[in-house]
Structure 1
Amino acid sequence: MIFLAEFSVIRPDFGLLFWTTVIFLLFWFIIGKFAFRPIAEALKKRESDIQNALDEAKRVRQEMANLKAENEELLAQAREERAKILKEAKDAGNNLVEEAKNKAKVEAQKIVANAKEQIEHQKMAAIVDLKNQVGAISLEIAEKVIRKELKGDAAQESYVNGLVKDIKLN
């Protein structure tokens, strides 16, 4: 207990102060040599790993942005191609309809022209037939009239002489 009586925290002894300082400095030297260096290296490694992870994340983010842009571009191209194909299909359909209409018009015109031609041929045939019939009927009528008028031989002879005179004059 005597030892405790001499000890005072307010007024430390020089020897105690000396040895406390020496031990403290030795402690920091040993800690600095064996603990701080590995801790500093571990911190530097961790900082490097974190920086690498951040750089990788930034690279991946940039790559994702590029992929997204490429995807958008591909989608836009696909939309354009789809629109182009639809337009071509619509145009082809319209062209087919237009060609069918034109073909039908041409066919109808041919049919009408053929019908008109047949009608004209039939009309001409009917006119020729009618003329032939009229001519035949006229001949029959003329024959009957002449027979009636020329029932006698004297009338026939006089008529033939008149015809011969007409022929000689012409």
Structure 2
Amino acid sequence: MEKLINDFAFGLFFWQVIIFVLLIILLKKFAWKPILDSVNTREQGIKDALASAEAARREMHNLQADNQRILQEARMERDTMIKEAREIKEKMIADAKAEAQAEGAKMIEQAKASINAEKNAAMAELKAQVSGLSLEIAEKILKNELSNREAQTSLVEKMLGEVKLN
């Protein structure tokens, strides 16, 4: 530092200061304004880019909210459709069971009616056969008993005795 102070030349310093001031004036006039304009332009571009990024972020947030809402609505609709499908299935099963029970009851009633009709027909046939057999037996017995004349006369007298005349 001492060497600088000892070698100091006032004339050289004066010209250096003048050249420096001229350089500053020239830079201010010709270079400083374009440099500041470009810096300001760049700053404005950065602000615009940040604003667009913020708008894009908000738009993305809105889209995500819409997607969540749409997804929730789709889930609710799916649950509703599944519930309706289950109800329809249960109704179809209940209807099929009721129809099967009604058809079964109808078949049972038809079978009972058929059985009763066959039973009545069998009973009528049995009665006819029994009455036919009874007549045959009675005829054979009467033939045996009434084969002689005395038995016939005593039977007629007995029957006449039982008949009451008014």
Scaled by the length of structure 2, what TM-score is found?
0.78
Structure 2: 5+ residue runs without aligned partners? 1-5
How far apart, in 2, do the equivalents of 1:122 and 1:11 lie?
Answer: 151
Q: What is the DSSP-based 3-state SS (H/G/I as helix, E as strand, rest coil) of the residue aligned with 1:10?
A: coil
Corresponding residue of 2:29: 33
Q: What is the DSSP-based 3-state SS (H/G/I as helix, E as strand, rest coil) of the residue aligned with 2:126?
A: helix
Q: What is the DSSP-based 3-state SS (H/G/I as helix, E as strand, rest coil) of the residue aligned with 1:142?
A: helix
Q: Please tell me whether residue 10 in structure 1 is matched to residue 8 in structure 2.
A: yes
Query: Deviation digits for residues 25-62 of structure 1, max 9, x if unmatched?
Result: 33322322332222212211111110110110111112
Residue 100 of structure 1 and its aligned partner are, at CA, apart by: 2.0
1:167/1:50 CA distance change after superposition, 3 Å: farther
Q: Please tell me whether residue 108 in structure 1 is matched to residue 104 in structure 2.
A: yes
Q: What is the DSSP-based 3-state SS (H/G/I as helix, E as strand, rest coil) of the residue aligned with 1:151?
A: coil
Q: Please tell me whether residue 69 in structure 1 is matched to residue 69 in structure 2.
A: no
Corresponding residue of 1:93: 89
Greater shift, 145-154 or 51-60, is seen at 145-154
Residue 123 of structure 1 and its aligned partner are, at CA, apart by: 1.3
Corresponding residue of 1:5: none
Q: Please tell me whether residue 117 in structure 1 is matched to residue 119 in structure 2.
A: no
Q: What amino acid sits opposite 1:137 in the alignment?
A: L
Residue 67 of structure 1 and its aligned partner are, at CA, apart by: 1.2
How many aligned residue pairs are there?
A: 161
Q: What amino acid sits opposite 1:122 in the alignment?
A: E
Corresponding residue of 2:139: 143
1:100/1:26 CA distance change after superposition, 3 Å: same
Corresponding residue of 2:74: 78
Identity of matched residues, %: 38
Q: What amino acid sits opposite 1:78 in the alignment?
A: A
Structure 1: 5+ residue runs without aligned partners? 1-7
Residue 109 of structure 1 and its aligned partner are, at CA, apart by: 1.7
Q: What is the DSSP-based 3-state SS (H/G/I as helix, E as strand, rest coil) of the residue aligned with 2:10?
A: coil
Q: What amino acid sits opposite 2:72 in the alignment?
A: A
How far apart, in 2, do the equivalents of 1:106 and 1:43 lie?
Answer: 92
Residue 147 of structure 1 and its aligned partner are, at CA, apart by: 2.3
Q: What amino acid sits opposite 1:86 in the alignment?
A: I
- RMSD over aligned Cα atoms: 2.8
